[in-house]
């Protein structure tokens, strides 16, 4: 464990100093695209302004034979990147794979000047973050970068979940965590075969009734515990939590429900795997006009923020006004990015 006074020192001579605060820039959807696919790369200039984060995916989903083409695609996209309002991220291959090291080296040396975040999959503990932290510092120094590249870890191993607080505290570079339900299910030996979302078998049943009427069942959320734990670990360390992938692209309704559960529990965004999921994430992770209106009324009614008032028959107090401030600060950050939302919320953009 490093001394706290050294925590914000660069880990390599010439590397930029770590940030003291992780920026809370809108990242409602982390949109995945396969940079090995030339057709997709050609669409980037059109797609990039429509999303908060565009992520070049080098890991799972890219066939082994295409790993080098994917890396080259990232370089092509990064070198012609001209969408400063949108963040550019990449997901590299895991640290134990044959490609992880070359992915990191290429990403930082070739496109580090436009890359905001690298997503590291299958993180098992703080040692994985320490390794990437030092390597990034060495590469940043070599590339003479002025701004540190942040790390986003995917929570998709049982060890990672068990050590999630240590992972979040491992480096000032940590930007956030995403739940990776597909790998996590496999690693935990869960008996599912899906990429995120619920399962009809995971339910509770109403007690039997004396008149023998049918017993209702209610599907439960497989991910509730992990998301809640991830949110606590992130908040405690000043970083951002995200829901990950929802694999059933056609089931837009269940995708919206899963994203909304994550939003209500504290997540700031989710992955979009297909253009159809972009508007879902945008809708879910932007507070509604009614929420913003209500939050504003509570803040106004609460004056200095202490005490209690009755508003529409409901008690509001110091704690509910703080929740309203969360809604308002989220709305302000989104309004600054999106003029339509600024209009909707009545906030000058």
User: Could you write out the three-class secondary structure of the chain?
Assistant: CCCHHHCCCCCCCCCCCCCCCCCCCCCCEEEEECCCCHHHHHHHHHHHHHCCEEEEECCCCCCHHHHHHHHHHHHHHHHCCCCCCCEEEEECCCCCCCCHHHHHHHHHHHHCCCCCEEEECCCCCHHHHHHHHHHHHHHHHHCCCCCCCEEEEEECCHHHHHCHHHHHCCCCCEEEEEECHHHHHHHCCCCCCCCCCCCCCCEEECCCCCCCCCCCEEECCCCHHHHHHHHHHHHHCCCEEECCCCCCCCCHHHHHHHHHHHHHHCCCEEEECCHHHHHHHHHHCCCCHHHHHHHHHHHHHCCCCCCEEEECCEEEEHHHHHHHHHHHHHHHHHHHHCHHHHHHHCCCC
> Of ligand GLV, Mg ion, none, which one sits near residue 128, judging by CB under 5 to 8 A according to partner kind?
none
Residue 124 in contact with ligand GLV, rule: CB under 6 A: no
Binding segment for ligand GLV (CB under 6 A), chosen from 93-101, 181-189, 298-306, 324-332, is: 181-189
241 binds, among ligand GLV, Mg ion, none (CB under 5 to 8 A by kind): none
- State the binding string over 198-237 for ligand GLV (x if CB under 6 A, else -): ----------------------------------------
223 or 345: CB nearest ligand GLV: 223
Q: Which does 244 bind (CB under 5 to 8 A by kind): Mg ion, ligand GLV, none?
A: ligand GLV
Of positions 112, 148, 180, 269, contacts ligand GLV by CB under 6 A:
180
Stretch that binds Mg ion, among 35-43, 139-147, 178-186, 332-340 (CB under 5 A): 178-186
**Is residue 244 involved in binding ligand GLV (CB under 6 A)?**
yes
Question: Judged by CB, which is closer to ligand GLV: 185, or 302?
Answer: 185
Interaction between residue 154 and ligand GLV (CB under 6 A):
yes
Q: Least distance to ligand GLV from the beta carbon of 206, Å?
A: 32
Contact 332, 347 (CB under 8 A): yes
Q: Does 183 bind Mg ion (CB under 5 A)?
A: yes
Q: Which of residues 37-56 bind Mg ion (CB under 5 A)?
A: none
- Regarding 180 and contact with Mg ion (CB under 5 A), the answer is yes
181 binds ligand GLV, rule: CB under 6 A: yes
Using CB under 5 A as the binding criterion, the count of chain residues that bind Mg ion stands at: 3
Instruction: Give the interface with ligand GLV as residue ranges (CB under 6 A).
Output: 60, 121, 154, 156, 180-183, 195, 244-245
Instruction: Give the interface with Mg ion as residue ranges (CB under 5 A).
Output: 156, 180, 183
């Amino acid at each position: 464990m490093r001394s706290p006074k050294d925590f914000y020192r660069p880990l390599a001579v010439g590397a930029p100093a770590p940030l003291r605060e992780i920026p809370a820039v809108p990242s409602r959807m982390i949109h995945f695209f396969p940079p090995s696919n030339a057709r997709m790369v050609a669409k980037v200039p059109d797609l990039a302004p429509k999303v908060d984060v565009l992520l070049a995916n080098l890991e799972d989903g890219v066939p082994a034979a295409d790993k080098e083409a994917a890396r080259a695609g990232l370089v092509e996209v990064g070198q012609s990147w001209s969408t400063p309002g949108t963040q550019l991220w990449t997901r590299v291959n895991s640290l134990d794979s044959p490609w992880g090291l070359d992915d990191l080296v290429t990403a930082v040396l070739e496109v580090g000047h436009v890359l905001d975040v690298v997503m590291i999959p299958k993180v098992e503990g703080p040692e994985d973050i320490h390794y990437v932290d030092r390597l990034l510092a060495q590469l940043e120094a070599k590339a003479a970068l002025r701004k540190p590249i942040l790390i986003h870890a995917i929570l998709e191993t049982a060890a990672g979940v068990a050590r999630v607080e240590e992972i979040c505290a491992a480096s000032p570079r940590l930007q956030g965590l995403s739940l990776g339900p597909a790998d996590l299910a496999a690693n935990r030996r869960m008996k599912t075969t899906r990429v995120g979302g619920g399962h009809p078998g995971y339910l509770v049943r109403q007690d039997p009734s004396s008149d023998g009427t049918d017993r209702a069942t209610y599907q439960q959320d497989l991910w509730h515990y992990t998301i809640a734990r991830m949110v606590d670990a992130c908040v405690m360390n000043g970083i951002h939590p995200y829901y990950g992938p929802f694999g059933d692209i056609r089931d837009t309704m269940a995708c919206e429900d899963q994203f909304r559960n994550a939003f209500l529990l504290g997540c700031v965004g989710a992955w979009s795997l297909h253009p159809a999921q972009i508007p879902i994430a945008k809708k879910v992770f932007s507070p509604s006009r009614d929420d913003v209106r209500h939050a504003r009324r509570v803040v106004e009614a609460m004056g200095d923020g202490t005490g209690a008032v009755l508003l529409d028959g409901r008690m509001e107090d110091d704690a509910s006004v703080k929740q309203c401030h969360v809604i308002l600060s989220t709305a302000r950050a989104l309004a600054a990015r999106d003029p339509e939302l600024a209009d909707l919320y009545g906030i000058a953009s």
